[in-house]
Amino acid sequence: MGLLKTFVLGGIHPPENKLSANSPVRILEIPPQVVVPMGQNLGAPSKPVVKRGDKVKTGQLIAQASGFISSDVHSPVSGTILKIDSVMDMSGYRRPAFIIKVEGDEWMENIDRSETLITDINLNPEEIIAKVKEAGIVGMGGATFPTHVKLMISPGKKADYLIINGVECEPYLTADHQLMLEKGPEIIVGTKILMKALNVKQAVIGIENNKPDAIELMSALAVREEGITVQPLQVKYPQGGEKQLIKAITNREVPSGKLPVEVGCVVQNVGTAFAVYEAVTKNKPLIERVVTVTGKALKNPSNLKVRIGTPIKNLVEMAGGMPDDTGKIIGGGPMMGKALATLDVPVVKGTSGILIMRDEASHRLAEGPCIRCSKCTQVCPMGLEPFLLSRLARIGNYSSAEQEKVMDCIECGSCQYTCPANIPLLDYLRLGKSKVGAMIRGRTKK
Amino acid sequence: MSNVVLISVIVLGALGLVSAIILFFIARKFKVYEDPKFDEVEAVLPAANCGGCGYPGCRAFAEASTKNAGKEKNLDGFLCPVGGNEVMQKVAGILGLEVEEKDPMIAVVRCNGSYAHSPDKVKFEGVTSCSFAHALYAGKGGCQYGCLGLGDCVEACEFDAIHMSLETGLPVVNDKCTACGACVIACPRDIIELRKKGPKDKRIFVSCVNKEKGAIAKKNCEVACIGCGKCEKVCEFDAITITSFLAYINFANCKLCRKCVDVCPTDAIWEVNFKPRKPKPEAVRPKKIPAKETVSASAKKQEAFAEIKSIVSSNTEKSEK
């Protein structure tokens, strides 16, 4: 192992609490009914191509991408479309979704369901990107940006690094870790496919040092491949952020408001690399994913492989049932996840974890006055001044907030975590971001 | 000694005189002609600088209206909502024009999802800002169209005309409202609308903006408009239209006959400032949530809290230690 790298600016060390580490991925039974939302990606929601009452097979296309930044949706089960209705999503808003009644598990004929490892790829980059698009793959880390869009590098720009994100810096979550341990060879092939699609010669798999077994395994697999290396990284949150990871591995800095390709890097999650492997070699669309179900009061924190559309309550049951003193259920990790209003919401492509918090740990502490300790400024990985930005958002001075680069905030929550006065800094930063975003959109429209 | 005084007076006096002459010529050279009517118009405006007219402040309104009056010979599109007809008459008088009488307007809150009608399902501990909460989640009661009750409208109001009611958790507009429209812009859910004040302040409106199907709307809030269409059928003046399961009363056509209020099965249609009806006691319903309902409100609220399992607060929390 070489010298451990990390990003320079800021960062925090929250307790890791990886309760479900080393618990092998279990396959969750298919529920009697699934709910598949149409808009599972960042960008435009997809358009349905099946009707109510239609029979669908597992892996069949049910909704098509409706714009450039949009992705296809496939049926995760076989059965009948019960109805197309608006269904509550994680935030409580109702959005259009398919409700599918499960009947057996009949897959599309062209999907290879065998476990054999296929290493030969005889496709050109365009064909690979087309297959990724057809499989409806989105960023599996949680941001759900359509992967095929990321692979199409705009003319005039060139990528020279592919970075595979196996950092999993969020506390509690272990889904990517387990995936690396169990599907290492597949991820390596997926990486090779992505390298070919992007036409890059070098790929780096970044893994934090708290996963030594994964580093060892991936390194052993990577030495056999040309151009792929594994880079162990210091443990620091938010290293899994795209810009932070690029800085840590390549020491390049993505300019404000620009995309990583500007500095010749493309970042993909390990889960995405695995999904790409399955899509390209086995024609399997993105219809299932690994989800960590965890929490201190939970009997059996686990990593579960579930079909998209499975209600979250089934996952919680599988992990030992809902503890009595539950105060909050979070979709995602504790730092960037979102509290759920109900357990009936389905797993979507971007669901990386379900965290159940005890009541005592799920309330905010009373807010105190800012004592100008500058801790938030020290931990901000983007070099912003959260105390100033939150103050500007609070008084409604959004034009100054824009000048102070509020849009660069990656919403990692480090500032709020570290604030000794318990000021809801991130809330105000988000408020500022949404207002400034609206201002910018208004300007470009004119 | 007297010499010193004399010299100072002469020197300073001469300096002052020369400067005055220079300043006089400079002032003449750089003189900007301003229509004296700007000042006259500005003087009659309310000087609230609220922006309700669409111009940045009263001075800008005075300048724009005067210039327009010179060119177009009318005052179309110029209205000071704060001053109303009275002020507009004065402005028209100064500019030598006629102005049409406009109906006075008032801000109307079209949501009745109070604690009693739409009990809390989750707990919110985030920043008290509607814009933030709107981006975060659907709302405490579960209605994604309803009032979030965090008071962005109250903050936007320059006239102290809108306040949160502690009993209902909803904003209440009082007589100070000038219909400047600041709260309409501030509300992220377009709940507040400017409507005709009506004769003797009488008005009828649908106090709901929920566009969901009836069953879903009713599940979250017992006084939601379910789009049943009864009001549309009973209305003789074509004032009511239903689009995506939501009734809307066009105040231009409404004759305030109150028939729609009687037929509404969920009490979503409100009548304001009418005399209570005499003969049919069963038809008289409590409309504006009188104080007596608050008892049941708090009881229902507690009941709802007992069922609360999940708690929505902000996304980021300190993890368990």
Please check whether residue A9 is in contact with residue A291, taking contact to mean a CB–CB distance below 8 angstroms. no
pLDDT higher than 50, residue B312: no
**Residue A340: closest CA among chain B residues belongs to which residue?**
B312
Same domain, yes or no, for A252 and A392?
no
Q: Name chain A contacts of B310, Cβ cutoff 8 Å.
A: 326, 328-329, 339-343
Is A406 within 8 Å of chain B by CB? no
For residues B141 and B126, what is the distance between their CA atoms, to the nearest angstrom?
A: 16
Contact A341 B122 (CB under 8 A): yes
Dump pLDDT digits (tens) for B205-244: 999 999 988 888 998 899 999 999 999 999 999 999 999 8
For residues A353 and A168, what is the distance between their CA atoms, to the nearest angstrom?
A: 11
Contact A341 B121 (CB under 8 A): yes
Q: What phi and psi values does residue A121 have, to the nearest 5 degrees? A: -125, 115
Dump pLDDT digits (tens) for A35-83: 999 888 887 888 899 999 999 999 999 999 888 888 999 999 999 999 9
Of the pLDDT bands very low, low, confident and very high (cuts 50, 70, 90), residue B280 is low
For residues B148 and B129, what is the distance between their CA atoms, to the nearest angstrom?
A: 9
Residue A214: which CATH number? 3.40.50.11540
Look at chain A and report how many structural domains it folds into: 2
Dump pLDDT digits (tens) for A307-335: 999 999 999 999 988 888 888 999 999 99
Three-class secondary structure of residue B230 per DSSP: helix
Domains B36-95 and B105-276+294-307 share a fold: no
Dump pLDDT digits (tens) for B242-274: 998 999 999 888 888 888 999 999 989 998 888
Q: Which CATH architecture has domain B36-95?
A: Orthogonal Bundle (1.10)
Among residues A282, A306, A327, the one where a domain terminates is: A282
Q: What is the full DSSP assignment across B294-305?
A: HHHHHHHHHHHH
Same domain, yes or no, for A273 and A131?
yes
Q: Please report the pLDDT score of residue B304 as a whole number.
A: 46
For strands A288-294 and A202-208, give the pairing: unpaired
Domain containing residue A207: 125-282
Same domain, yes or no, for A130 and A278?
yes
Residues 257-286 of B with CB under 8 A from A: none
- Please check whether residue A300 lies inside any domain of the structure: no
Contact B319 A171 (CB under 8 A): yes
Contact B127 A431 (CB under 8 A): yes
Pick B312's closest partner by Cβ from A341, A361, A430.
A341
Expressed in angstroms, the distance from the first to the final Cα of chain B is 86
Could you state, in order of their start, the residue ranges of all structural domains in chain B? 36-95, 105-276+294-307
Among residues A223, A253, A282, the one where a domain terminates is: A282
pLDDT higher than 70, residue A1: no
Among residues A222, A250, A282, the one where a domain terminates is: A282
**Residue A171: closest CA among chain B residues belongs to which residue?**
B319
Dump pLDDT digits (tens) for B92-108: 888 888 888 888 889 99
pLDDT higher than 50, residue B291: no
pLDDT (mean) for A164-173: 93
Provide the CATH topology of domain B105-276+294-307. Answer: Alpha-Beta Plaits (3.30.70)
